[in-house]
Amino acid sequence: MLVTECTTGEEEFIQRIVTRYLYLKQRGLVISPRDWQYICRWLAQNIPLITVLKALEIGFAEMTEHTARVRSLAYIDRIVTRLERERRLMQIGRPKENETKSTSEVMRDGLTRIIAELEEIAKKEGDLAHPISNTILNIRRLIDEIDTRSLDFDHILKRVTQIEDGLFRSVFNRLEEEKKRYYEKKADKTLTRFKANMPEKAIQSTKRKLIKSIVLRDFDLPPFNPLI
């Protein structure tokens, strides 16, 4: 039976995935370093919790039919990617009659919308004007590349993530040390219950992604998803 609804949050995101994965796997009590990397990536990519939970159910059901076992989240990751792509394309909506748009055109429109939202934020938050202006410049460059080159879906999303990372670093580096420590402690608190079962690299990687998520949300910066 597939999960049909859930709420999100960094700690719940990790807890729900780990708990359900280990339950379905019925082997072991800890997550491997490799599996932690997949969870970190889904978190960084803002994959909805419901998408990952559905992918787990689908993946284990498929393996059961073939009398095989899901040995790692690598198999689930392929399903997550497929479900997320379908979800994003569904959000585009059906084109009007006699009007069709390629994925690149839709993503260009989405990036243009993100620019407009950032410009509005820059007007209200003067302190963010400089990092936002640099971000807008990078988005415009990406739009130019979309117009002049054949960029595939995954490449565009990767570039968008890189631009978002750059904005986060600019905002975070401008914070006072006390504020930086506040965000670091907040991320540490979220990870407390998981650290015993996480390799050090996974802890640090997840912590960085949590800090990014919290900071961007606190500054009311728009989600960098050109397909929303």
Which DSSP category does 96 fall into? Answer: P
In this structure, which long-range contacts are made by residues 194-201, counting pairs with CB atoms below 8 Å and at least 24 apart in sequence?
Answer: 194/14, 194/15, 194/18, 197/18, 197/29, 197/30, 197/31, 198/31, 198/36, 199/33, 199/36, 201/33
How many CB atoms neighbour CB 60 within 10 A? 20
E strand spans, the chain:
none
**Which pLDDT tens digits describe the chain residue by residue (228 residues)?**
333 333 346 778 888 898 888 888 876 667 787 888 888 888 877 888 888 999 999 988 887 666 567 788 988 998 998 888 777 766 655 444 434 556 677 788 889 989 999 999 988 877 888 899 999 999 999 999 988 887 777 788 788 889 999 999 999 999 999 999 999 998 888 778 777 767 777 788 778 878 888 888 888 888 776 655
**CB 224, CB 164: distance < 8 Å:** yes
What ranges do the domains of the chain cover?
8-92, 103-219
Phi, psi of 26 (to 5 degrees): 55, 30
Cα distance between residue 214 and residue 226, in whole Å: 20
